[in-house]
Structure 1
Amino acid sequence: MDDIKVGREVLSVIRDLQFIMNDLSAELRVGLADTHHLISL
């Protein structure tokens, strides 16, 4: 495998991870908002 191919693979993995992290953080924010809402009641 040449360096360019490895670099592309790494970049696509990083992109996937960022996508997953964005998804998770969005869900976490919604979850946190829900718990704050419950606590404030």
Structure 2
Amino acid sequence: MGIVNLSAGLFILILGIIVKKFNLSILVAGYNTASEEEKAK
């Protein structure tokens, strides 16, 4: 079970890095409803 938790953690970490690096903020929940000021963050 430890390997499953480790795999899931790595998957989420890598996904987070990809979203941050390639500015895929459109995939983040609530981003489309945020104001322009909040999107600039």
TM-score band, normalised by shorter chain: 0.5 to 0.7
Calculate the TM-score normalised by the size of structure 1. 0.53
Query: For the pair shown, which has the larger CA radius of gyration, 1 or 2?
Result: 1
Instruction: For structure 1, list consecutive stretches of 5 or more residues without a partner in the other structure.
Output: 28-41
Kindly report the root-mean-square deviation, in angstroms, between the aligned alpha carbons of the 2 structures. Answer: 1.6
- Calculate percent identity across the aligned residue pairs: 4
Runs of 4+ in 1 over 3 A off after TM superposition: none
Calculate the TM-score normalised by the size of structure 2. 0.53
Bigger RCO (CA 8 Å, 6+ sep): 2
Kindly indicate which of the two structures has a greater share of residues assigned to helix: 1
